[in-house]
Structures are given as C-alpha cells and as structure tokens.
Structure 1
Amino acid sequence: MAMAGRIRSSVPRVVKSLMSDSLSAQRSIVERSFICPNFIDSSFLFIIAVPCYLLKQVPVAMFGGSGNYASALFIAAAKAKALDKVESELLDLVAATEKSPTFAQFMKDLAVPADTRVKAITEICDQAKFSEVTKNFLVVLADNGRLRHVDTIAKRFSDLTMAHRGEIKAIVTTVIPLPAEEEKELKDTLQEILGKGKKVNLEQKIDPSILGGLVVEFGQKVFDMSIKTRAKQMERFLRDPINFDS
C-alpha cells in the first residue's frame, strides 16, 4: 500500500531525530475522549475515558486489554463517522510493521522513551495523513507503552466493524489455495446458513500440517475435515481394545 510505504519510510528518520526531545510539548495533543474514569482496563492498568453508557453501543462484547482498547476506538470512530477510515489506517500501520523490521522494533521496544514514541507516532500519522481519531488513539498507545499491541487491537477493531456491517468472518484452512469455484461454493453454502441480512467474509489460510481436506472456522463453530484430524481419530479407534463379548 502506498500509505504503508510512507509510514515505513518515515520511521527511521523520525526516531533518530527525536531521541533527545522531551515529552512536555506533546502532552496536550492526547485526545481525552479516550480517557474515562469509569472504563478501567485492568490488564493494561490504563483508564480509557468514554462515558460508560456508550460502551453498550459496540456491536460485539470485547474482553481483555485489546478488546477494551478496540471498543473505545470503535465508539470514538463511530461518533466521528469514520469507522471505515480508521480501520483502513490501522491495517496500513500493521502492514507497515510487518514489512519494516525497523518500524516493528520501534513499536515493540519499551526502552524507547515515552516522549520519543509520542513525537514519532505523531509525525508518522501526520505524514500518512491519518484521521484525528486514529492519530489521537495511537498517541495514547504510544504514551502508555502499548504500541506493541496495535496488531491485536487492529484485529479486534476489525471484528467490531465487520459486526457493525453485518459481516461474519469465516476462515478456511487448506494445504493449497482453494480454486475459485470451490471457494465460491463454500462461501455460498455458508451464506445460506447465515440467511439474509448477513454477509460472509471468507478468509483463506494455508497450513500444510493438516495434510489435506479443510478446516472451517465459522462464528463460534469449527468444522474440522482435515486428513490430520481424521488420521488421529482412526489411530484412537485402532488403539481401543476390542470387546469380543459385545
């Protein structure tokens, strides 16, 4: 992505130029809409400031630290009518960390001073032309040493936006990519199960260890039709003692 490329290219220069700067000038840019005394993330020991009654507006209940952050971001993005934009920007940021070892190290390294993290992420967001919602949220993560969790938060946020759009993620795992016609057939079958008003978002994963067949994860269900699982079932069957009396 072009935006992800801009993010990656700006990181080394930004980090190098900020190592000696102070945090004081950056405190004022942290958006307090993310700091609410009644929404406590006990996992991260961080307080997120959105009125608690708004938490009921998330389409799916999220738990744990990353779920709390994703929920707070969803509420802020929905209020700003910027759900799709914020989701796209988060995914661009995650893509940049996957493609740039320097950026990935910067995001994970807690030895980097908080003021450096804040100023770096602020400049990166400005250069990438991120929305204020995304920028302010990332500044909060940077200020609290939580940038290393951004990939997990992004996934949880995408789960929320998908649920908001009436989409259901289905993950199919195979040894080789499914042919287009088989992928369509599987998607159509899942769509029939869902019925009208919902849309299947099919994601393919490749895993040679399943040996063959496929595994479909759909909502809270897992349909394991892999050769690996069938072989284990057969092995257990063959090892069971035979009762000749029955």
Structure 2
Amino acid sequence: MKLNSLTLAKRYSRALFELASDNNELELVTNDLNAIHEIFVSNPAYVQDLASPSLPSSAKQAIINTLKQDAHPLVANFIQMIFEYQHLDAVVLIIEYFNRLVNDKNKIVHANATTAVELSTDQKDQLAARLAQHLGANKVVLDTTIDPDIIAGVIVRADGKIIDGSLATKIAKIRQMLVK
C-alpha cells in the first residue's frame, strides 16, 4: 500500500528532524535541506526527469549523487533513500514539514500582515515584535501584503489565527449593529 504524500511527508520529516536534533546538527541539516528545496522548487522538471522511465537508472543515480555531493551525511542518506523508495515527488513537502518542526522548536512564527499602505521597516519591526510577544514566539518572520480595500489598520494571519484590526471590518460591524 502506497502512503499518500501528506502522511509520507510527516513521517519522513519527523524522523529526519529527530535524527538531526539528537545529533545536535539541526542547523546544518536545515541549511542543506533548504538548498535542495530551492533546487526542486525552481526546477519542477527535475522530479519529472528523475521519474521518467526513459532516463536510465545510471543517469538518475548520477543526478542524485550530484545532489548528495556536498550535503550533510543525514541529508545525503535522506536523498538516497527517497530516491530508492521512489518518493522524490514528495521531497518539497517533506522539507516544508521539516521546516515547520524546526520553527516550532525554535518558536519562530511566520505571519502575513495585510495593510492599506506600505509599512516602513520600523513599522514592520514593531509589528513583528508585538506579534512575537502576543503569540509567545521568539521571532516572527513577517510578510506584508497591500490591500487598499481594508481602508486602514492591519489584518494579521499567523499561527492559524487571524487578528483583524482593519477599519473596513470595524465599519462593517457598526453597520450590522445599526441594522439590528
């Protein structure tokens, strides 16, 4: 029975995370995995070529050997195993789940702030600091989006939560109260 990609990603990422943590090599492994992630994301044909029956096994192994060449031994073994078990199509998802585990351990939260206007660097830093305090995080990595429809204020999506401080939402709530 073949596992679905999500189940497979969670299992492989957890195993790799635990091995890297136990060996105190989490940062090295994370850096190498992120480099491989970038290769696979920026070259989607890469996985297709490796899965193609027209490409000889020796050529596929040569590509895998190139990927493993300067990688941490845990990452090299991971890439070889994923290749041998024909799960290369799940590499990106596995690495993304691995990064989630690393972020959870380090209390790093990724957030998106939607504002009506562009925020200055200082405003972004202040917002990230307030969010870190509010969410109990050590660090907030903040991405921003501009949406003039919110009129003013900010809508933050982080850690599965939405904090809506937009003027558009406040106006909508006042309208609802007036209609009652």
TM normalised by structure 2 equals 0.75
Q: Give the match for residue 215 of structure 1.
A: 155
Do structure 1's residue 206 and structure 2's residue 154 form an aligned pair?
no
Match of residue 95 from structure 1: 38
For residues 199-230 of structure 1, the C-alpha deviation after alignment (integer angstroms, 9 at most, x for no partner) is 02223043659766543222231224457x73
Identical aligned residues as a percent: 17
Q: Which of the residues 83, 88, 97 maps onto 1:147?
A: 88
Rounded to whole Å, the distance in 2 between the matches of 1:160 and 1:135 is 20
Structure 2 vs 1, CA of residues 125 and 133 (structure 1 numbering), >3 Å: closer, same or farther?
Answer: same
Change in Cα spacing, 1:169 to 1:118, as seen in structure 2 (3 Å) is: farther
* Alignment counterpart, residue 156 of structure 1, candidates 90, 97, 106: 97
Gaps of at least 5 residues in structure 2 are: none
CA contact (8 A) 1:170 1:216 kept: no
How many angstroms does 1:88 deviate by? 0.8
Distance 1:188 1:168 in 2: 12
Match for 1:81 among 20, 24, 38?
Answer: 24
Q: Is the 8 A contact 1:70 1:156 kept in 2?
A: yes
Deviations along 1:127-180, one digit per CA (max 9) or x if unpaired, are xx1111001101122223322322222221111112222x23131233665311
1:173 correspondence with 2:113: yes
> Structure 2 vs 1, CA of residues 81 and 114 (structure 1 numbering), >3 Å: closer, same or farther?
farther
Query: How far did 1:42 drift?
Result: 3.4
| 2:62 matched residue in structure 1 | 119
- Tell me how many residue pairs correspond in the alignment: 173
The alpha-carbon deviation at position 73 of structure 1 amounts to 0.9
Cα distance between partner residues in 2 of 1:78 and 1:104: 30
Gaps in structure 1 of 5+ consecutive residues:
1-39, 45-62
What are the equivalent positions in structure 2 for 1:62-81 lying under 5 Å apart?
Answer: 64-81=7-24
**Structure 2 CA distance for aligned equivalents of residues 93 and 135 of structure 1:** 10
Please tell me whether the aligned partners of residues 64 and 80 of structure 2 are also in contact (alpha carbons under 8 angstroms): yes
The DSSP-based 3-state class of the residue aligned with 1:140 is: helix
Partner of 2:4 in structure 1? Answer: 43
Question: In 1, Cα distance between the equivalents of 2:60 and 2:149?
Answer: 41
Structure 2 CA distance for aligned equivalents of residues 118 and 105 of structure 1:
16
Pick closer, same or farther for the CA change 1:209–1:130 going to 2, 3 Å. Answer: farther
Give the direction of change, closer, same or farther, for the CA distance of 1:181–1:207 in structure 2 (3 Å limit).
closer
Instruction: Indicate if the aligned counterparts of 1:114 and 1:144 stay in contact, CA closer than 8 A.
Output: no
Q: How does 1:49-68 map to 2 (within 5 A)?
A: 64-68=7-11
Distance 1:207 1:95 in 2: 26
